[in-house]
Amino acid sequence: MARTCLTIILAAGEGSRMKSATPKVLHELAGKSLVGHVIGSAIKAGGDTQAVVVGRDADLVEAEARRFSDDVVIVEQKERLGTGHAVLCARDVIARGFDDILVVTGDTPLLRPESLLRLRRAREHGADVVVLGFRTDEPFGYGRLIESDGELLAIREHRDCSDEELKIRFCNGGIIALNGDRALEILEAIGNDNAKNEYYLTDAVEIARSKRMKTSAIEADENELHGVNDRYDLARVEGIWQSNRRSELMRSGVTMQAPETVHLCHDTVIGTDTVLEPNIYFGPGVEIAEGVQIRAFCHLEGVRIAAGAQVGPFARLRPGTVLKEDAKVGNFCEVKNAAVEKGAKINHLSYIGDARVGAKANIGAGTITCNYDGANKWHTDIGAGAFIGTNSSLVAPVKIGDGAYVGSGSVIVSDVASDALAIARGRQVVMEGRGREIRERNARIKEERKKSR
Ligand code: UD1
Ligand code: CA
């Protein structure tokens, strides 16, 4: 029979060093909350049950946790008395009985499911308490793993370390696996006699040893176990995540001309042979097919782009935008909630919102869909092969038929039939010689003003 596993995610800490009105674990990494990243990894590691320990703004953290799994158990820690106390708040869930209990801090978002699986394997091989550690040149603030002859003797919190212990570079990543049958026995023995008067989960190691249980440490990469305690840490884990994800995408066949200037989101999908020029920002919900060209300085969010399309430079694609095969959105264009069908072109300086642009339609420079009347949004429908002359305003709701022409500079307020021509602007008037008369008059005025000074 497969081993059962409970994951307890600690997300009740004050996070006061974030200096934020938002609880720490709700801060985002690649557009997804820190706690969301951790729950995702716990689920991937095959946990049967996830319990999230929440504190400050419990309802907000609970709502966020439920977005990732309907059946997470939410446990409230009313007072922040330390990580050991936080785990014990899940006492009732632990008492249901599990082979493995994984305790994961909610502020280590880079943790990979593979590492949780390694902890579970060590449990399978008989260890009662297994700690995921990492080696670092910057151990400041982390608990140190004290070993002897390859055995883990204790975890000492930074503040409680002797000068000798402070030199240790092998640190606690904050992720611990416990023998489910003995977890309560260990946790209940944790006291708060230390520099912070907190119940430290890390004491579990020494307690287990005093009860003759087996303890060990497993090493993971430093980059995976960075904890987020302040915004500097947050930026650092973001940098690591971005760099990892960019490497994956490049190895899967995406060209990035200046990778370090491409900012991805947790759910960004990009197909092979797509080329990204420098300086591109991906918000949530972007899906790009094969062979797409995204030129420099684009901002994309909530967008689906089909094969062969071209975007930018300097384009902003907002949520609800769909570009079909070979569509083009050029420089200084904004597109929102609009379907741009096969081969259609919006090449320069346009705003297309709440609209459909039919296949092969051509939208002239400076075309604006006037979609908003101050209270409601309205739809603009542009037929296949239509030609919208430059600097036109299409006042929605309005429909331009297939193959219709709109003269440059028009303000279109009513529907245009297929293949029709619509012009809606002042007629041109030409007065022979009048230009010279005006020039001569202005020169005269200038002379008279000079004399009178
Ligand atoms: C903790 C570890 C430290 C380890 C580091 C790794 C302890 C005592 N220390 O330190 O050994 O090197 O993580 O990042 O475990 N939390 C609660 N309730 C509490 C206190 C904390 O839910 O009462 C949660 C926090 O939300 C956070 C996590 O537990 O997600 C860790 O707490 P934090 O205060 O950040 O611990 P560190 O000092 O970083
Ligand atoms: Ca921490």
pLDDT in tens, 155-201: 999 999 999 999 999 999 999 999 999 999 999 999 999 989 999 99
For residue 260, pLDDT over 80 is answered with yes
Distance 13 CA to ligand 2 centre (A): 9
222 lines ligand 1 (CB under 6 A): no
At 13, the pLDDT band (50, 70, 90 cuts) reads confident
Residue 15 has pLDDT above 90, yes or no: no
Boundaries of every domain in the chain: 5-225, 252-422
User: At the fourth CATH level, which superfamily is domain 252-422?
Assistant: Hexapeptide repeat proteins (2.160.10.10)
Catalytic residue flag (residue 348): yes
- Measured from the CA of 24, which atom of ligand 1 is nearest? 26
Residue 151's pLDDT band (boundaries 50, 70, 90)?
A: confident
Tell me, yes or no, if the two domains 5-225 and 252-422 fold the same way: no
Give distance in angstroms: CA of 139 to centre of ligand 1. Answer: 15
Mean pLDDT within 35-46 = 94
Asked if residue 219 has pLDDT above 80, the reply is yes
Q: Pick the range with the lowest mean pLDDT from 148-162, 273-287, 341-355, 377-391.
A: 148-162
Average pLDDT of the residues in 426-446 = 97
Nearest ligand to residue 195 Cα: 1
Residue-wise pLDDT for 292-339, tens only, equals 999 999 999 999 999 999 999 999 999 999 999 999 999 999 999 999
**What pLDDT does 272 receive?**
98
Residue 223 has pLDDT above 80, yes or no: yes
144 within ligand 1 shell (Cβ under 6 A): no
Question: From atom 21 of ligand 1, which residue's Cα is the shortest distance away?
Answer: 13
State residue 69's pLDDT score.
Answer: 87
170 lines ligand 1 (CB under 6 A): no
Q: Is the pLDDT of residue 5 over 70?
A: yes
Ligand 1 centre distance from Cα of residue 270 (Å): 36
Fold of 5-225: Spore Coat Polysaccharide Biosynthesis Protein SpsA; Chain A (3.90.550)
Closest ligand 1 atom to Cα of 12: 22
User: Mean pLDDT in the chain?
Assistant: 96
How far does the centroid of ligand 2 lie from the alpha carbon of residue 228, in Å? 6
Does the pLDDT of residue 112 top 70, yes or no? Answer: yes
pLDDT attached to residue 1: 58
The answer to whether the beta carbons of residues 337 and 357 sit under 8 Å apart is no
pTM given for the model: 0.92
Pick the ligand that lies closest to the CA of residue 225. Answer: 1
Q: Is 357 in the pocket of ligand 1 (CB under 6 A)?
A: no
Mutate to test the pocket of ligand 1, among 83, 138, 144 (most ligand atoms within 8 A of CB): 83
**Confidence bin at 149 (pLDDT 50/70/90):** confident
Residue among 158, 299, 348, 379 flagged as catalytic: 348
Q: Span 133-138, mean pLDDT? A: 96
